[in-house]
């Protein structure tokens, strides 16, 4: 059952990335974030499927990049504080990312060299 929920979560996050590109197609930051997010989705799929895709260092870099971008977005929203609604949206998005960060952390840093053995459960 947990794997099903993880796959549903992955689908929601994939739709989130597609929505970002549709809503802000001309901004370079959207494309960079979408590319990093797409890599993160591959890592999330690897975590769920218990399969290693690429070296640990790649997933450590993806984790660090996604975390840095999200911390920067939250910090920008806090500093600008132009709208409480915008801040609430950014805070909600950051909370929505927590399971993704958890999975990528386990996938990137808990892997033994050469093997992905991070069971999710059924």
Chain length of the chain:
122
- For residue 2, the model assigns a pLDDT of 85
- On the question of pLDDT at 80 being above 60, the answer is yes
- On the question of pLDDT at 19 being above 90, the answer is no
Residue 116: which pLDDT band, with cuts at 50, 70 and 90? very low
Residue 48: which pLDDT band, with cuts at 50, 70 and 90? very high
């Amino acid at each position: 059952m947990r794997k099903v929920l993880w796959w549903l979560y992955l689908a929601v996050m994939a739709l989130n990335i597609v929505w970002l590109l549709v809503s802000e197609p001309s901004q370079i930051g959207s494309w960079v974030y979408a590319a990093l997010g797409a890599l993160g989705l591959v890592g999330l799929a690897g975590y769920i499927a218990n399969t290693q895709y690429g070296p640990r260092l790649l997933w450590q870099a993806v984790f660090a990049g996604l975390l840095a971008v999200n911390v920067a977005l939250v910090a920008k929203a806090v500093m600008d504080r132009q709208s409480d609604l915008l801040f609430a949206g950014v805070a909600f998005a950051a909370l929505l990312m927590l399971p993704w960060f958890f999975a990528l952390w386990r996938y990137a840093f808990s892997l033994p060299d050469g093997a992905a053995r991070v069971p999710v459960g059924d």
